[in-house]
Amino acid sequence: MRTIHKFEIKIGSFCLSLEKEAKVLTVATQNGRPYMWVLRDTEKECIERRFHLFGTGDQIPKELELEFLGTFLLDEDMFVFHLFEEKTNES
| Per-residue pLDDT at 30 exceeds 90 | yes
Q: What is the pTM of this model?
A: 0.92
Q: What is the pLDDT of residues 37-71, one digit of tens each?
A: 999 999 999 999 999 999 999 999 999 999 999 99
Q: Are 64 and 50 in contact (CB under 8 A)?
A: no
Q: Chain-centre distance of CA 57, in angstroms?
A: 19
Nearest Cα to Cα of residue 52 among 35, 31, 69: 69
Domain boundaries, given as residue ranges, for the chain? 2-86
Say how many C-beta atoms besides its own lie within 10 A of residue 19's C-beta.
Answer: 17
Q: Please tell me the distance from the alpha carbon of residue 15 to that of residue 74, in angstroms, as a whole number.
A: 22
CA dihedral 70, 75, 78, 83 (to 10 degrees): -20
